[in-house]
């Protein structure tokens, strides 16, 4: 992965804090959503930080971020998504964490959750290695959430990376 677009200062400071408090080399999580996409070269604005993990690790993350938690971890379901969900606010920035995220298939059945540790890839960002979900995975996830326009932006970024 060659193209890395930087994050706004506030997001960068919070991401550094997250990496220190919940070291990704020790815990299986990945930066996803707009920030994860941006670090992989998708030129989109970043609103918050989203961490994706598994059902066990989400509670460890919640514990490490106790002082910042606004919404404790709970089961969250929408039309397209089922996961464990928690929310924190760090230095005025919203941080969401999602565990065992599953998408509803066209047949109405929930797809299995992915194995974060074996799916994530690493991006060099300043002095850190940041775990992110691969762009191809993200494009499929956005399609499953009914967000075709975002999926197309991701696919366009993938095409730019191919020599």
User: For 19-78, what is each residue's pLDDT tens digit?
Assistant: 999 999 999 999 999 999 999 989 899 999 999 999 999 999 999 999 999 999 999 999
pTM above 0.85, yes or no: yes
Is the residue at 23 inside a domain? yes
Within-domain flag for 4: no
Residue 1 lies inside a defined structural domain of this protein? no
Evaluate whether residue 102 is within a structural domain. Answer: yes
pLDDT band for position 3 (50/70/90)?
A: low
What's the CATH code of the domain at 124?
3.30.460.40
Q: Tell me if 3 is assigned to some domain.
A: no
Domain residue limits at 28: 9-161
> Is 32 part of any domain?
yes
Positive or negative torsion for Cα 155, 159, 161, 162? positive
Amino acid 160: pLDDT:
79
DSSP per-residue letters across 50-106 = EEEE-TTHHHHHHHHTGGGEEEEEEEEE-SSEEEEEEEEEETTEEEEEEEEEEEB-T
What is the number of structural domains in the chain? 1
151 domain-assigned: yes
Q: Is residue 40 part of a domain?
A: yes
Residue 163 has pLDDT above 60, yes or no: no
Q: How far apart (Å, rounded) are the C-alpha atoms in residues 90 and 142? A: 26
Q: What is the pLDDT, as a whole number, of residue 2?
A: 47
């Amino acid at each position: 992965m060659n193209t890395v677009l930087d994050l706004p200062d506030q997001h960068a400071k919070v991401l550094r804090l997250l990496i220190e408090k919940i070291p990704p080399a020790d815990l299986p999580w990945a930066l996803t959503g707009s920030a994860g996409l941006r670090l992989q070269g998708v030129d989109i604005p970043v609103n918050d930080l989203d961490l994706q993990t598994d059902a066990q690790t989400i509670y460890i993350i919640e514990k490490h971020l106790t002082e910042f938690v606004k919404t404790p971890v709970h089961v969250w379901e929408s039309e397209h998504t089922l996961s464990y969900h928690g929310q924190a606010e760090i230095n005025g920035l919203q941080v969401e964490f999602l565990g065992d995220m599953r998408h509803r298939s066209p047949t109405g059945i929930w797809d299995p959750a992915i194995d974060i540790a074996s799916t994530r890839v690493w991006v060099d960002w300043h002095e850190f290695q940041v775990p992110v979900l691969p762009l191809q995975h993200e494009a499929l996830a956005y399609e499953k959430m009914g967000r075709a326009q975002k999926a197309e932006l991701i696919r366009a970024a993938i095409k730019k990376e191919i020599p």
